[in-house]
Amino acid sequence: MKAAPPIEPSGWATSSYGQGTDTTPMQLSTLGEHLAHCSQPGGRLGALRTGCQALHGFLLGHLVTTATVVLVAAGAAWLMWS
């Protein structure tokens, strides 16, 4: 019994399924739609996520300074309460 040939995927695929490795116009169109959808901001939650990522990148880039500021603030708060 001979196996049926694989079905050509309708969207973007990372496998050639035994065929040529060139992309088809349909695959490029699907990939373009996907990238356009993913690059759109996600509303308020997307803006919050983008802001948090920017803050995280800044804090990570200034790790020693951030740690010093946090420790000084914690020490000052401890001195104020004791």
pTM of the entire predicted model: 0.35
Contact yes or no for 50/72 (Cβ under 8 A): no
Average pLDDT over residues 12-38: 76
d(CA 37, CA 31): 10
Instruction: Tell whether 50 is covered by a domain.
Output: yes
Provide, for the chain, the percentages of residues in helix, strand and coil under a 3-state DSSP scheme, each rounded to the nearest 5: 65, 0, 35
pLDDT at 41: 66
Instruction: Tell whether 62 is covered by a domain.
Output: yes
Average pLDDT, the chain: 80
- Continuous segment of H or E residues that includes residue 71: helix 63-81
Domains in the chain, number: 1
Which domain covers residue 59, as residue numbers?
Answer: 43-81
Instruction: Tell whether 38 is covered by a domain.
Output: no
pLDDT at 79: 94
**Is residue 45 pLDDT above 90, yes or no?**
no
Instruction: Tell whether 52 is covered by a domain.
Output: yes
pLDDT at 33: 86
First to last CA, the chain: 84
**Is residue 4 pLDDT above 70, yes or no?**
no
pLDDT at 39: 73
